[in-house]
Amino acid sequence: MAATFMGIEWQQNWGDMVIWEEFYNKYAPRTLIELGTGRGGMAIFSAMQCASRGMHYHTFDNNAWFDMNGALSSLLNIKGSFHCVDIFSDEGINQVVGIINQAPRPIAMFFDNGDKPREWSIFAPKLASGDFCIVHDWGNEFTESDIGGVPVERILTVISDARGPSWKSMWFVRK
Ligand SMILES: C[S@@+](CC[C@H](N)C(=O)[O-])C[C@H]1O[C@@H](n2cnc3c(N)ncnc32)[C@H](O)[C@@H]1O
Residue boundaries of the structural domains of the chain: 4-174
Ligand 1: residue of 16, 62, 87, 95 to mutate (most ligand atoms within 8 A of CB) is 62
The CATH topology of domain 4-174 is: Rossmann fold (3.40.50)
Question: pTM value?
Answer: 0.98
pLDDT per residue over 136-164, tens digit each?
Answer: 999 999 999 999 999 999 999 999 999 98
Task: Say how many Å lie between the CA of residue 96 and the centre of ligand 1.
Answer: 15
CB 92 within 8 A of CB 135: no
Q: Is the peptide bond between 106 and the residue preceding it cis, with omega within 30 degrees of 0?
A: yes
Ligand 1: residue of 8, 58, 61, 90 to mutate (most ligand atoms within 8 A of CB) is 61
Give the other-Cβ count within 10 Å of 65's Cβ. 12
Residue type at 108 in one-letter notation: A
Task: Say how many Å lie between the CA of residue 86 and the centre of ligand 1.
Answer: 10
Q: What is the pLDDT of residue 164?
A: 84
Q: pLDDT over 90 for what percent of the chain?
A: 95
40 lines ligand 1 (CB under 6 A): no
Q: In whole angstroms, give the CA distance from residue 68 to residue 105.
A: 27
pLDDT per residue over 12-63, tens digit each?
Answer: 999 999 999 999 999 999 999 999 999 999 999 999 999 999 999 999 999 9
Predicted confidence (pLDDT) at residue 1 exceeds the cutoff of 80: no
CB 86 within 8 A of CB 35: no
Helices 41-53 and 14-27 meet at what angle, rounded to 10? 20
